[in-house]
Chains A and B, each alone.
Chain A
Amino acid sequence: QKEVEQNSGPLSVPEGAIASLNCTYSDRVSQSFFWYRQYSGKSPELIMSIYSNGDKEDGRFTAQLNKASQYVSLLIRDSQPSDSATYLCAVPGSARQLTFGSGTQLTVLP
């Protein structure tokens, strides 16, 4: 089983809708979780981090963590075409590196 799994998509939502991106992880002792955004042809950038069960909100973005289910999600409210990108879930690996999922490609349709 891969350490971090994401639905590869692609996921398309209309402008103004809520986009929901999901990620599961295998290491039960993981304590921190991260979402990176990667625009086409660009490098990843950190957009959200979450450490505790529950929700964490930052503007239009909400990260949700359920450690019992080993599940972390990212919700994007009022989606904009500029949100179109690949979203990568990341979890600290066994050797102090970040382990990334394969990413979910999101397209927000005008």
Chain B
Amino acid sequence: GAGVSQSPSNKVTEKGKDVELRCDPISGHTALYWYRQSLGQGLEFLIYFQGNSAPDKSGLPSDRFSAERTGGSVSTLTIQRTQQEDSAVYLCASSLGISANGELFFGEGSRLTVL
């Protein structure tokens, strides 16, 4: 597709379960970002991938959160032992390179609800 694709669009899970969220960036974009947006809040940076460099994980809120990017393309964000405070919309974005020009293209997000 032409845009950033995320799946699932909605996920309801029980507290303590693990979830995986997938992001397929725009073809040719080397940079990939994960953000989290809680209801009525701004975007919270989670993790950043650039090409083959080591990812910047400085925004991950706890060791229950991890992400990988295979083959420089598709990324998976994994949340282990989910908690209710993990409920949010998880947004993936990609760009041609580092965010120097601020042009991030966002997917439609994965809405996670932890019961």
Query: Chain B interface residue count: which class?
Result: 20 to 34
B:42-57 near A, CB below 8 Å: 42-43, 45, 48, 50, 56
Closest B residue by C-beta to A31: B100
- Complexed CA–CA distance, A93 and B58 (Å): 11
Cβ contact within 8 Å between A46 and B104 = yes
Contact string, B13-34, partner A, CB cutoff 8 A, digits 1/0? 0000000000000000000010
Query: Within the complex, which residue of A45, A88, A93, A97 is in contact with B42, where a contact is CB–CB below 8 Å?
Result: A88
A12 touches B (CB below 8 Å): no
A72 touches B (CB below 8 Å): no
Q: How far is the CB of B52 from chain A (nearest CB, A)?
A: 15
Question: Which residues of A sit under 8 angstroms from B103, Cβ to Cβ?
Answer: 46, 49
A109 touches B (CB below 8 Å): no
- Using a CB–CB distance below 8 Å, which chain B residues touch chain A? 33, 35, 41-43, 45, 48, 50, 56, 58-59, 91, 98-104, 106-109
